[in-house]
Amino acid sequence: MFASVIVDIPSKSVNQVFDYRIPDGMEGLIRVGHRVLVPFGRRTIQGYVMKLRDTTDFDPARIKEIARTLDIEPVLTEEMITIARHLADYYVDQYISVIETILPAALKANYRKVLKLAEGHTAEAAAALEEVAGDAETEPKRLEAGALKALAPYLKSGDIIEETVIRQHTKKKTALAVYSLKQQGEDLSRAKKQQELLAVIDASSEPIFVRDLVNDGFSNHLINALHKKGHIGKVEREVERDPYSGRVFTSDPPKVLNAEQQHAYGRITEALDAEQAKTFLLHGITGSGKTEVYLQVIQKVLEEGRTAIMLVPEIALTPQMVNRFKRRFGDDVAVLHSGLSHGEKYDEWRKIKEGRARVSVGARSSIFAPFENVGAIIVDEEHETTYKQGDRPMYHAIEVAKFRSRYHNCPLILGTATPSLETYARSEKGVYERLELTERAGTKVLPEISVVDMSEEHRTGNTSIISKPLEAAIQTRIERGEQTVLLLNRRGYSNFQICQSCGHVPMCPNCDISLTYHKSNRSLLCHYCGYEGPVHRTCDNCQSEDVTFRGTGTEKVEEILRDMFDADVVRMDNDTTRRKGMHEKLLDHFEQEEIPILLGTQMIAKGLDYPKVTLVGVLNADTMLNLPDFRANEKTYQLLTQVSGRAGRHELTGEVIFQTYNPTHYAIQLAKENDYRRFYEKEMAFRRLARYSPYYFHVLFTVSSEDVRKCLKATSHIHDTLIQKVSDQSIIVGPSPSPLERINRQYRFQILLKYKREPELLEMLNSLDEHYHEAYRTEGISLRIDVDPLVIM
């Protein structure tokens, strides 16, 4: 019998299955989805069994055998193998890259080359290796030149060989435990404390962790004494890494649904009962109770013995969503997101794989949760661009969700207050069923929204980033003991440093972008490549001392707010949330300590639900309006509407203030009026005229190289290929420099293809990908093909 295996080599030249013979005695043990070790060339590497076959198309005598299997149960299901093939084909990527995206990073192979003695080695070789390494494994790359030279004769003779050791990236965590031997050891009649400890161990039906016994007051000395006297045994026992261990979640019973919620629930559960792969757009204004509908749909799914997947767009949203799900479903919930360690994510993944969890909550990658018999898939805030992966494989989680919905014949629910134009257009055409929630749950009303023209503020002498109306509103909330959320989508202290004598602005040496000043560490940072440089008191260009900082980021606004209101401020941005668990700690601090002001970037705009937040201020509503991207207006409307929904979600009424230099722009005015329908119609007219999505599909080609001439040559070649291969109905935009022409020393040029139907497109994309895969190896030219891009920058 033979197995078709994908090998762990991320190269286009081996992006195919290879046949291996299943050794005698392993037939029936190796199944589709197993990880295996296979010989490949002169090395042994990890691979994944994609298919089992009775015959092979190649000469059976020349086919190598599988060395061994790495698992008892397969890590990949048939469904995940099918998804891997689909994503690799659709997004023009390698199978192994998609498989490693589907599986937790813990399962990725860790390869190490070590030196060891061959069979029949000489005593001299053994002595030479022992002198270099002692008892430890010897890695050639860690040896100094002299040591390698001493071993060279034995490597040449074959007495010492180089072997690749393959280990799993992260292992199961274990800790020492003890158990009763249930037999008579040495007499304990005079050792009362040891008798007490033995009684505790005897009473347990399974081994007890030593650390738990120590925490209960028994010393290691006592435990060792019992072991020495023959009363107990020691064993390593697995410890499950639970990111929520020690947390107590109070029960949260289902709430009574209003008429609109009940209608939405009814339509979804009809599809659930009919085992129908139907997609619903749950279009509900902020605070309309979409989450309660999700929870009750999942409750029904669980009652029917099925499983459910819940996606949220941001790690910052996960803590509150996890709290709600844990309170409703307890230990049935597993959490999967990038904020967990490899070990924690691996253990949560195993809970799902082994059937110990029936609901997953997490960000984009949790769409690959290894559930069987999925009953519902829910994508909250479906419009968010974070559901599209920014590096290879550039899959969209909603496309995977649609695939899994069809595979399991279950409903897919896309929930949002501000649907993407593509999703809403599909609901208009009846491809998706739209369910509307037009009122806030209970008796709560939408907050009152006002717009402040910052140009007018400046004309009246106020040059602060805080307008007078917003300042008065914040002061009122502080006096009432209420809370304020402020949004500024720009981190750092100041946007840039400038010399007022010659106009020189320090730029990143690797990117075409000015450096941002961060006061906390007195440095100039690039937010693209991570370059960090010192702040100079004099201009690097003319040596003038007349240097200053311009623009305002969250770090500076935090300082302004503390001075202006003499109040505590919680700041949430990439700088303050970099360390693990900081999202949750900062939000808990804001809620539990009743800090008056929460200031943050767009990570605070969605999903937060605090009863005392009655004021939301958007310090610069124009941040996204001027981006060179056709979705700039849509993103602005979505961000403003989402952050507005944080105010007045409970008993207290809310207020929202937008600060802007474009008070008449339709994205801002229609966000103020909370009129999605009018925004949709206006924006769709622009998309139709400019021939953008959803009227056309897109593929974005981005070529990058350290040599700008190579970029120009490559984009010309791609442009010529497109002209020859695509129909006259398609539109080719470019080649042109990317809006940010150079990042991390790489020049970037792009071409945008707009098309409606191109039957040979996939074949052409694969051909270009193969060509530039080789060009990257030989000339350093990289081609990134983004199918259905969400960002054209």
Write down the pLDDT at residue 787: 95
Euclidean distance between CA atoms 643 and 640, whole angstroms: 5
Taking domain 2-79+88-108, whether its CATH number is 3.40.1440.60 is answered by yes
Name the stretches of the chain with pLDDT < 70: 109-112, 134-137, 141, 163-172, 183-185, 239-250, 315-318, 443
Residue pair 614/456 in contact by the 8 Å Cβ criterion: no
For domain 448-491+553-683, the CATH architecture is 3-Layer(aba) Sandwich (3.40)
Write down the pLDDT at residue 168: 58
Going by the DSSP 8-state scheme, the letter that residue 500 receives in this structure is T
User: Can you name the residues that pair with 284 across neighbouring β-strands?
Assistant: 437
410 is in an annotated binding site: no
Beta strand spans in 350-488 (E): 359-362, 374-380, 412-416, 433-437, 448-453, 483-487
CB contact set of 439 (below 8 Å; sequence gap of 6+): 258, 260, 285, 288
For domain 697-787, the CATH architecture is 2-Layer Sandwich (3.30)
508 is in an annotated binding site: yes
Cis bond leading into 393, ω under 30°? Answer: yes
Residue pair 207/237 in contact by the 8 Å Cβ criterion: yes
CB contact set of 321 (below 8 Å; sequence gap of 6+): 291, 310, 312, 361, 380, 607
Q: What does the block give as tokens for 208?
A: 């007890």
The CATH class of the 174-238 domain is mainly alpha
Write down the pLDDT at residue 217: 83
Write down the pLDDT at residue 244: 62
Q: What does the block give as tokens for 714?
A: 């490559």
529 is in an annotated binding site: yes
Write down the pLDDT at residue 331: 84
Euclidean distance between CA atoms 54 and 19, whole angstroms: 11
Please provide the DSSP assignment of 85-140 as one string: HHHHHHTT--HHHHHHHHS-GGGSEEEEEEEEEPTT--HHHHHHHHHHHTTS-B-G
Euclidean distance between CA atoms 134 and 129, whole angstroms: 7
**Which CATH superfamily does the domain covering 259-437 fall into?**
P-loop containing nucleotide triphosphate hydrolases (3.40.50.300)
542 is in an annotated binding site: yes
Euclidean distance between CA atoms 346 and 334, whole angstroms: 11
Euclidean distance between CA atoms 244 and 248, whole angstroms: 9
Write down the pLDDT at residue 154: 85
Q: What's the 3-state SS for 712-754?
A: HHHHHHHHHHHHHHCCCCCEEEEEEEEEEEEECCEEEEEEEEE
Please provide the DSSP assignment of 384-415 as one string: -GGGB-SSSS--BHHHHHHHHHHHHT--EEEE
Instruction: List the domain boundaries for the chain.
Output: 2-79+88-108, 110-168, 174-238, 259-437, 448-491+553-683, 697-787
Sign, CA torsion 249/250/252/253: positive
711 is in an annotated binding site: no
Q: What does the block give as tokens for 205?
A: 């039906």
Please work out, in degrees rounded to the nearest 5, the angle formed at the alpha carbon of residue 228 by the alpha carbons of 222 and 233.
Answer: 90
Q: Fold match between 174-238 and 697-787?
A: no
Residue pair 137/160 in contact by the 8 Å Cβ criterion: no
Residue pair 115/140 in contact by the 8 Å Cβ criterion: yes
Which contacts (CB < 8 Å, 24+ apart) does range 468-476 have? 469/657, 470/617, 470/619, 470/657, 470/659, 471/564, 473/615, 473/617, 473/655, 473/657, 474/561, 474/565, 474/596, 474/597, 474/615, 474/617, 475/565
Write down the pLDDT at residue 445: 82
C-beta neighbour count of 458 within 10 angstroms:
13
C-beta neighbour count of 481 within 10 angstroms:
9
Q: What does the block give as tokens for 650?
A: 């409970």
Write down the pLDDT at residue 155: 83
Q: What's the 3-state SS for 565-634?
A: HCCCEEEECCCCCCCCCHHHHHHHHHHHCCCCEEEECHHHCCCCCCCCEEEEEECCCCCCCCCCCCCHHH
